[in-house]
Amino acid sequence: MAQEIERKFLVKGDFKSSVVKDTRIVQGYLSSVPERTVRIRVKGEKGFITIKGIGNASGASRYEWEKEISTTEAKELLELCEPGVIDKTRFIVPADGDLVFEVDEFYGENEGLTVAEIELPTEETPFTKPEWLGEEVTGDVKYFNSMLMKTPFKKW
């Protein structure tokens, strides 16, 4: 099984001077139940289907399977998704070693929310926290994209 291990943080300062790449992402969910989310995503010019399992006790680790599909298929599947599409730009910011921060700046009903995630080889892997990294929200379900589509940031 493929395990995804990541930690998530709010962003409290300017990170854009360190960005090396950015990509627009539109995504929706065929299933948003925590035990098995099924996400459809158009990321730049590519389409993806992703299945994620429920997180562990810390919320940092869970099963993830992803497959690239055509953009046409992804757009068709987005039409079948539950209400509440997520629209964001993902910025890539290098971190120590081979690690990177993926910083998501949201639009629409989630405008004003910016979160950073770092994918790690283990939950114990140390990393340097840049000054713009704020409060850790790993495992806080209200920051899951599958929950942001149901209860957007602007309604908090």
Active site residue 143: no
For the chain, give the mean pLDDT. Answer: 95
What is the token pair recorded at 32?
A: 């948003």
CB 134 within 8 A of CB 11: yes
Q: Rounded distance, CA 23 to CA 90, Å? A: 5
Alpha helices in the chain (DSSP H): 71-78, 145-148
Q: Which position among 29, 63, 107, 143 bears the catalytic label?
A: 29
Tens of pLDDT along 100-151?
999 999 999 999 999 999 999 998 999 999 999 999 999 999 999 999 999 9
pLDDT > 90: percent of the chain: 88
What is the set of domains in the chain, with CATH numbers?
3-155 (2.40.320.10)
Q: Rounded distance, CA 154 to CA 46, Å? A: 29
Q: State the pairing for strand pair 61-69/21-33.
A: unpaired
**How much is the pLDDT for 10?**
98
**How much is the pLDDT for 34?**
84
Q: Rounded distance, CA 148 to CA 2, Å? A: 24
Q: How confident is the model at residue 1 (pLDDT cuts 50, 70, 90)?
A: low
Largest CA distance in the chain: 41
Find, among 148, 31, 40, 16, the residue nearest to 89 by Cα: 16
